[in-house]
Amino acid sequence: MNSILSIRDLGIRLGGRQILHGVSAEIQEGEFIGIFGPNGAGKTTLLRALLGLCPISCGELLVFGKPPGKTKHALGYMPQHPGCPDGTGLSARSLVSAVLRGERWGIPWISSSASGEVSRALELSGASSYADRPFSLLSGGEKRRVMLAQSLIEKPRLLVLDEPLAGLDPKNQMLLVERIAQIRKETGATVLFISHDVNPLLGVMDRVLYMAGGGASLGAVDEVITGPVLSALYGMEVDVIRAANRVFIVNSESNVTETACHA
């Protein structure tokens, strides 16, 4: 496999605060990578850096072998929040059409081939059945699929998904994860998926990138989600408990149990 994303001794400093330091990882073509860690660990900062929206302080970050921002049409990004007002009267299809070519926000005139591209993205995301309904009238899960369709415009080779499961009930979380896994299978795209909890992704991830304390560790779930690795990242004693096909983290110092990978 070819390397899609290369991170070597990366450091990012924002507002006088060191967010990341010494982060290294190699992401291969077609991989599904779950990205986890506590609030403030730098997960979204890392995604913004690879999108070319956040400067790096030191080290190297290459996307498709080039500096961030140089290959934007090969990358699809799904933000945590919609890029339009919740009360908009625009249809889901119009909102997907609005990001076509990524050149400017607006409702463009599009050719029949471009219209076919929009329909393809809606079909892949599972949003075709309500594509012509007003976005404001859709459920939370339906809105996420429309946002997913926006990220699929122009057939990206890398999908960057910032907490797409946030606010969804367990059933809709499962359905969305299954849909994204199917998209990866059909398109061969590499997936970077930030989530609060590792458990919904256990059956689909190839590897995890766990971020804490300004650092990160990349590997298989059983290699990374362990007491020794997480204790080293957090700088305190952490235990990992596996029960009923789920994973939990226990802060040994306070005896507080949390879901395995929290944001």
Look at residue 156 and tell me if it is in a domain.
Answer: no
Residue 197 structure tokens? 């909890």
Domain count, the chain: 1
Contact 10, 60 (CB under 8 A): yes
Helix (H) or strand (E) holding 241: strand 238-243
Is residue 263 included in any domain, yes or no?
A: yes
Within a domain: residue 100? no
Does residue 163 belong to any structural domain of this protein? no
Structure tokens belonging to residue 38: 């506590």
**Has residue 91 been placed in a domain?**
no
Per-residue tokens: 118: 């929009």
Phi, psi dihedrals of residue 149, rounded to the nearest 5°: -60, -40
Range of the domain at 261: 1-64+189-263
Whether 67 has a pLDDT exceeding 60, the answer reads yes
Domain contains 19: yes
CATH number of the structural domain spanning residue 204: 3.40.50.300
Lowest mean pLDDT, pick from 66-80, 117-131, 194-208, 219-233: 66-80
Residue 183 domain flag = no
pTM for this model (two decimals): 0.89
CA 164 centroid distance within chain = 7
Burial class, 113, CB count within 10 angstroms (exposed 0-12 / middle 13-18 / buried 19+): exposed
Within a domain: 115: no
CA distances from 143 to 11, 79, 86, 113, 172 (A): 35, 12, 10, 25, 11
Distances (CA, A) of 93 to 112, 119, 123, 162: 14, 8, 11, 22
Cα-to-chain-centroid distance, residue 6: 17
At 13-53, the pLDDT tens digits run 998 899 999 999 999 999 999 999 988 899 999 999 999 99
Give 118-135 pLDDT, tens digit per residue.
Answer: 999 999 999 999 999 999
